Amino acid sequence: MIYQSFAELYDQLFDEDEYQNWFEYTQKEVDLSHKNNWLELACGAGRLVVQLAQHGQIVTGFDLSEEMLALAEQHTRDAEVAAELIQGNMLDLSELEQFDVVSCYADSFCYLPDEEQVLQSFSEVYKHLKSDGQFIFDVITPYQTGVVYPGYMFNYQDDRQAFIWSSFEGEDKYHVEHDLTFLPK
């Protein structure tokens, strides 16, 4: 998995405003005055896990990448909040309990390669959502794949590394290819 090679860089470069935007949206959709049993799918480095736990939620962070979960553990420890962190694939949540809320941000469903796997993941979420539960997620839109990403480029450099991200229009409609280059110094 790509995140095993650059989890720390991803965490360092990810726009922190996005986490705040997701949290503010979540506050509008979910009553955080109630202590919800919460599953944060594809939790990555756990930034949203920390915010939810700081607001009294009982959070389980779930991610495919052990390296991202190690960062999530570090962030929860630094913030002095409790959260269960589990390594696993969102296509199989069979070992998990039911939750009041399941969230999945950062366009994480877009990493699934086809509609069948997206539907399988949605089915898994449904099985693990209480009957009155809420499921909140985001995905990349056709506007992003058709207008924003083609020709997009982001470059980053510090005294230890450089990162180049280029996006190109794919062969199929709304298909985008990303080229990520990491250069240690």
- Please indicate, yes or no, whether residues 22 and 55 belong to a single structural domain of this protein: yes
Indicate whether 95 and 178 sit together in one domain.
Answer: no
Beta bridge partners of 38: 59, 101
Does residue 82 share a domain with residue 159? no
Among the candidates 117, 137, 157, a domain finishes at 137
Q: pLDDT tens across 124-171, in order? A: 999 999 999 999 999 988 888 889 889 999 888 888 878 888 999 989
- The two most distant CA atoms of the chain are separated, in Å, by 52
Separation of alpha carbons 152 and 53, rounded Å: 35
Residues 44 and 64 occupy one common structural domain? yes
Residue 2 has pLDDT above 50, yes or no: no
Q: Cα–Cα distances in Å, from 150 out to 40, 107, 138, 160, 171? A: 30, 17, 20, 29, 12
Rounded to the nearest 5 degrees, what angle is found at the Cα of 40, between the Cα atoms of 71 and 58? 95
DSSP for 28-86 reads: HHS-TTS--EEEEET-TT-HHHHHHHHTT-EEEEEES-HHHHHHHHHHHHHHT---EEE
Residues 132 and 155 occupy one common structural domain: no
Same domain, 154 and 128: no
As for how many domains the chain has, the answer is 2
Print the domain residue range for 96.
3-137
pLDDT digit string (tens) for 27-50? 999 999 999 999 999 999 999 999
Do residues 23 and 95 share a domain? yes
Q: Is 107 helix (H, G, I), strand (E, B) or coil?
A: coil
Q: Are residues 128 and 168 in the same domain?
A: no
From 106, 122, 137, the end of a domain falls on 137
pTM: 0.86
Q: 27 and 59: one domain?
A: yes
Task: Specify whether 117 is located in the same domain as 163.
Answer: no
